[in-house]
Chain A
Amino acid sequence: QLQLQESGSGLVKPSQTLSLTCAVSNGSLSSGGYSWNWIRQLPGKGLEWIGYIYHSGSPYYNPSLKSRVTISVDRSKNHFSLKLNSLTAADTGLYFCARGDSSGEFDYWGQGTLVTVSS
Chain B
Amino acid sequence: DIQMTQSPSSLSASVGDRVTITCQASQDITNYLNWYQQRPGKAPKIVIFDASRLKTGVPSRFSGSGSGSHFTFTITSLQPEDIATYYCQQYDDLPYTFGQGTKLEIK
What's the A-B contact tally at a CB cutoff of 8 Å? 53
A106 lies within 8 A of B95 (CB): no
Tell me the nearest residue of chain A to B95, going by C-beta: A62
Q: Which of B60-107 contact A (CB under 8 A)?
A: 87, 89-91, 94-101
A105 lies within 8 A of B95 (CB): no
Q: Given contacts A46-B101, A49-B96, A103-B91, is CB(A109)–CB(B43) below 8 Å?
A: yes
Q: A49 is contacted by which of B42, B49, B98 (Cβ under 8 Å)?
A: B98
A2 is an interface residue with CB less than 8 A from chain B: no
Return chain B residues, CB-CB under 8 Å to A45. 100
Return chain B residues, CB-CB under 8 Å to A46. 87, 98-101
Annotate B11-27 by CB proximity to A: 1 below 8 A, 0 otherwise: 00000000000000000
Return chain A residues, CB-CB under 8 Å to B50. 103
Q: B95 is contacted by which of A49, A109, A112 (Cβ under 8 Å)?
A: A49
Q: Given contacts A60-B94, A63-B95, is CB(A103)–CB(B100) below 8 Å?
A: no
Tell me the nearest residue of chain A to B32, going by C-beta: A104
B34 lies within 8 A of A105 (CB): yes
A47 lies within 8 A of B87 (CB): yes
Annotate A92-114 by CB proximity to B: 1 below 8 A, 0 otherwise: 00001010000111110111100
Q: Given contacts A103-B50, A105-B46, A110-B43, is CB(A64)–CB(B95) below 8 Å?
A: yes
Distance in angstroms from A106 CB to nearest chain B CB is 7
Return chain A residues, CB-CB under 8 Å to B99. 46
A47 lies within 8 A of B98 (CB): yes
User: Can you give 6 A-B contacts (C-beta < 8 A)?
Assistant: A46-B98, A48-B98, A104-B32, A105-B46, A105-B49, A111-B42
Task: Supply 14 further A-B pairs (C-beta < 8 A) apart from A46-B87, A49-B98, A64-B95.
Answer: A46-B98, A47-B89, A49-B96, A49-B97, A60-B94, A96-B44, A103-B32, A103-B50, A104-B34, A104-B96, A106-B46, A107-B46, A109-B45, A110-B43
